[in-house]
Amino acid sequence: MNYLTQQEDRLFESFIILTLARKVLQNDLLIVEKSFFKLKEPYLQLIHSSIGAISKELFEIKKQLHKHNMKIEFGKNDGTFTECHCYFRGYTKTSRFLNAHLKNKVQDRVSNFFVPNSKLS
DSSP string, 37-90: -TTHHHHHHHHHHHHHHHHHHHHHHHHHHHHTTEEEEEEEE-SSEEEEEEEETT
Give the mean model confidence (pLDDT) for residues 11-34. Answer: 96
Give the mean model confidence (pLDDT) for residues 21-47. Answer: 93
Report the interhelical angle of 99-114 vs 40-67 (nearest 10°). 120
Residues 6+ positions from 56 with CB-CB distance below 8 Å: none
The pLDDT mean for the chain works out to: 91
- pTM for this predicted structure: 0.89
pLDDT band per the 50, 70, 90 thresholds, residue 38: confident
The DSSP secondary-structure symbol of 97 reads E
**CB count, 10 Å around CB of 72?**
20
pLDDT band per the 50, 70, 90 thresholds, residue 121: very low
Percentage of the chain surpassing pLDDT 70?
Answer: 94
| DSSP-derived 3-state class of residue 93 | strand
Give the mean model confidence (pLDDT) for residues 46-72. Answer: 95
